[in-house]
Structure 1
Amino acid sequence: MSQPQHGVSLASVYQARRRIAGQVVRTPLIRSQALSERFDAEILLKLETQQPTGAFKLRGAANMIAALIERHGRDALAAGVTTASTGNHGRAVAYAAARLGVPATICLSRLVPANKVAAIEALGAEVRRVGESQDEAFGEVERLVCERGMTLIPPFDDPRIAAGQGTIGLELMEDAPDLDRVIVGLSGGGLLGGIGAAVKAIRPEANITGVSLAHGAAMWESLQAGRPVAVEEVASLADSLGGGIGLDNHCTFELVREVMDDHCQVSEEAIAHAMVDILEHEKLLVEGAAAVGLAALAAHGLDVRGERVALVLSGNGVALETLDRARAMVGR
C-alpha cells in the first residue's frame, strides 16, 4: 500500500507507539454517567490530562525527537531543538528534550498564559516571548534554525507529530472498538488528523467531529477557502486552539480534509460553561481547548442519541485566573 501524500498512515501510527513506549502514559477512557444521561448516549472521556506534561502534545514531540535520533543519531541534535507553541507543545518538547539531555529553546507569543510559560521554564528550557501571534513567534524559530543550526520540532505540521498524536486513536479503538463518534478540538490539525487517520483506518464508519473557536479558526477558514489562509489570532479561554496553520502547510491541511466528517465552532460562553461543567460534575480540571467537545454537544445540539461518543480532554494547563473568568462568565 502506497504512503498517503500527507505522510500519516496506520503503520506510521503503530511505529510511533513503539517509539514513545515508556515516555508517555496510556491514558484512561472513562464513562461519564452525568453526560451520558444528559445526552442520551454513552459519553466517554479520554483523559489526556494525565500525561506527564498535562496534555496530549507529548506524544507527537516524543515521537519526532525519537524518530530523528533513530534516523540520524543523537549527535544530530547537538545544537538543540526549538519550536513555537501556544504552551502545551513547548512544554512537551522541553520535557522530551530534557529526558535526552538535549538543549531546548521554546518561542512563545505574548498571548500565552504565564502559567504555561512557567511550566516550560521549570523543565530547563530557554523561553523567548516574541510578538502577538504564534506566526510571529515562529519567525524567531526560523532565525534559530538558520543561525544556530537548531532542529525544528513543529507543533503540528509534520507526519511524525501527527502520527504521535494518532496513538490516541489506537487506544480509543482498543478500549472502545465500537465507537460511533470522536469529538476533537481543531487547531493546527495534528491531534484531529492523527486520531482520525488511526480511527478511520480501523473503523471507517466512525465519525470524526472537529471543534474550533468561533473566531480565529485558521484550519476551518483554510478548509473553507480550499487552501491555507492566514487569520487574525485572538485571545480565548481555549488559547491552545489559537494560531495559524502555516501558508506552506504540507501535512495537516490535507490530513484533516481527508479524515474530518463534520465541524462545529463554539463561542467563549459555550467553552466557559463546558469548563465549569466538567469541573463540577466530573471533578476534572481542564483547559478551554479540552472542553470544546462538550461545548459542541451542549451548544450545537449534535444528535448523538444512542451513540457511543468519545470526547478527547486534551489538556489541563489552565491558569486559575482563566478558570475564574470562565466561572464568572457562567455565574458560578
Structure 2
Amino acid sequence: MNRHMEILEVWEARKRISSLVKKTPLIKSLAISERAGRPVYLKLENTHEIGAFKIRGAANKILSLSDDEKRRGVTTYSTGNHGMAVAFVAQNIGIEATVCISSRVPKMKVDSLERLGARLEIVGESQDAAGVRCFELEKERGYTVIEPFDEPYVIAGQGTIGLELLEDLPTLSDVLVPLSGGGLLSGIGLALKTNSPDVRITGVSMERSAVMHESLKAGKPLEMEESETLADSLLGGIGLDNRYTFDMVEEYMDQLVLIPEEDIGYAMAYMMDKERMIVEGAAATGIAAVLGNQIPHQNGALVVIITGRNVDLSILFKLLKTYTSHR
C-alpha cells in the first residue's frame, strides 16, 4: 500500500458529501431476526437516489476535484452502479461524464445511465476491458478517471456507512459486506475497526468469479474471466496493480463467505416476499449468508449492508415464481 489511510479521511468525506448524500435508514428485520435467532438489521443503501451505495465514494472523489478538473470532465469504468453514481454526481454539479461499461452490464443499468445524461462507451465483455478504454480517454481528452474502488477518496466515501452504523447501533457485533473490488469493505472496515475493533466483519461474494477471494488465497491480485451471475455488481477484477483495497480487505475482513447462485436467487425473492423490498443480487448475498446459517452465532446485533436495488424486473419475476412454487 502506498500509504496508510486514516479515519480522519472518512470524517472529512462525511462533511464533503453531505450536500449530495443523505444518511440511510437502519431497520430491524423481524423475519430474518427470527430465522437467525438474534437481532438482524438492514442498512438500506438501496434508498439512495441511484439505488446503490456507490454514490458516497463517487461524490467524495468528484467533489474533491479542482475547478479545472471539473471543467475538463470525468470518466469511469463500471459494472453499472458506480457509473450511475458518477453520472448522478456529475449531472448535479454540471460537469460532463463518460462511463465505460462492458456488454455484460444489464439493460436496466444502461437505461439508467442514459437517463442520468452520461456519455456511454460499451467495450468488451469485462470491467477490465472497459477500464482500459477509460484510461485511453484520460490521455486523449484530459478527463479525470474516477476509480470504482481502489482509490482513497472513494474508500473514505464508502466508509461513511461505518460512521452511521456506529451512531445508530453501538451494540453491533457483526457486519456483512458484499465484496468485489473491496472499496466498500475497506471503507467500512476502516471506520468500524478503528472505533470498535471487536466488530466481526464478514465479506460475502458469489461463488462464480470471486476475484478478491482467489487473490487473497494466492497472496496477490489475480485476473479472472467473468461468469454470468445474479450478483453482476460484484463482477470485475481488483487490478493487478491494486494499491489499497487488497491490503485493507486482508487487514479488516475476519471471514469470507461464498454464496451459490441458487441461494442468491432465493434471498432476492425472500426479501420481496418478507420485506416487500427489491434488492439486486449483490445486495442479497448477505441475506443469503444469514438465511443459510453461514455466520457463526455470537451475541450482539448483526447488520447486513443492502448495497443496491438495481435489478431487471424480469429476473425478479422469474425468481419469485420459483420461490413461491417451492414454499
- Asked if TM exceeds 0.5, the reply is yes
Give 2:200's aligned residue.
207
Q: 1:33 to 1:152 in 2, by over 3 A?
A: same
Match in the other structure for 1:24? 21
Q: 1:118 aligns with which of 108, 111, 114?
A: 111
Report the CA distance between 1:257 and its aligned residue: 0.7
- State the match for 1:15 in structure 2: 12
1:126-137 equivalences in 2 (<5 Å): 126-137=119-130
Structure 1 residues 300 and 246, CA, compared in 2 at 3 Å: closer, same or farther?
Answer: farther
- The equivalent of 2:45 in structure 1 is 48
For 1:82, which of 75, 84, 92 is the aligned residue? 75
In structure 2, what is the equivalent of residue 311 of structure 1? Answer: 304
| Post-superposition offset of 1:76 | 1.9
Q: What residue identity is the alignment partner of 2:70?
A: L
Identity %: 48
Structure 1 partner of 2:225: 232
Q: List per-residue Cα deviations over 1:138-170 (Å, max 9, x = no partner).
A: 111011011111110010010110100000000
1:52-91 Cα deviation digits (max 9, x unpaired)? 11100000000001112xxxx2122222100000100000
| Aligned partner letter, 1:45 | L
Contact 2:32 2:291 in 1 (8 A): no
> 1:62 corresponds to which residue?
59
Residue 34 and residue 132 in structure 1: after superposition, are their counterparts in 2 closer, same or farther (change >3 A)?
same
Residue aligned with 1:78, SS? helix
- The code of the aligned residue for 1:41 comes to R
Deviation of 1:301 after TM superposition, in Å, equals 3.0
2-structure distance, mates of 1:89, 1:7:
24
- Pair 125,7 (structure 1): closer, same or farther in 2 beyond 3 Å: farther
TM-score between the two structures when normalised by the length of structure 2: 0.97
Distance in 2 of aligned mates of 1:307 and 1:317: 30
Q: Secondary structure at the match of 1:234?
A: coil
Q: CA deviation at 1:290?
A: 0.6
Quickly say closer, same or farther: Cα 1:6–1:264, change in 2 above 3 A: farther
Deviation per residue, 1:213-240 (Å, 9 max, x gap): 1010111111111110001111111100
Alpha carbons of structure 1 residues 243 and 325: separation in structure 2 relative to 1, 3 Å? farther
Partners of 1:325 and 1:138 in 2: how far apart? 32
Q: Which residue of 2 aligns with 1:186?
A: 179
Question: What do the CA deviations read for 1:119-150 (whole angstroms, capped 9, x no partner)?
Answer: 01101110111100000111110110111111
2:30 maps to a residue whose letter is Q
Match of 1:264 among 245, 252, 257: 257
Letter in 2 for 1:314: T
Query: Is residue 33 from structure 1 mapped to residue 25 from structure 2 by the alignment?
Result: no
Letter of the structure 2 residue corresponding to residue 67 of structure 1: S
How far 1:101 sits from its partner (Å)? 1.1
Aligned residues: 325
Partner AA of 1:34 in structure 2? A
Question: For residues 111 and 254 of structure 2, what CA distance do their matches in structure 1 show?
Answer: 37
Q: Structure 2: which 5+ runs fail to align?
A: none
Unaligned 5+ segments in structure 1 are none
CA distance, structure 2, for counterparts of residue 251 and residue 74 of structure 1: 26
Residue of structure 1 in register with 2:140 after alignment: 147
Contact 1:290-1:312 at 8 Å conserved across structures: yes
Distance change >3 Å, CA 66–CA 90, structure 1 → 2: same
**Letter matched to residue 107 of structure 1:** C
Contact 1:192 / 1:210 at 8 angstroms: preserved in 2?
yes
**Could you tell which deviates more after superposition, 240-249 or 305-314?**
305-314
**1:208 is paired with a residue of what secondary structure?**
strand
CA contact (8 A) 1:222 1:228 kept: yes
Give, as a single letter, the amino acid of the residue that structure 2 aligns with 1:238: A
Between stretches 73-82 and 173-182, larger displacement belongs to 73-82
How far the C-alpha of 1:8 sits from its partner, in A, is 2.6
Instruction: Sort the Cα spacing of 1:325 and 1:130 in 2 relative to 1 into closer, same or farther, 3 A.
Output: farther
Residue from 134, 138, 151 that aligns with 2:131: 138
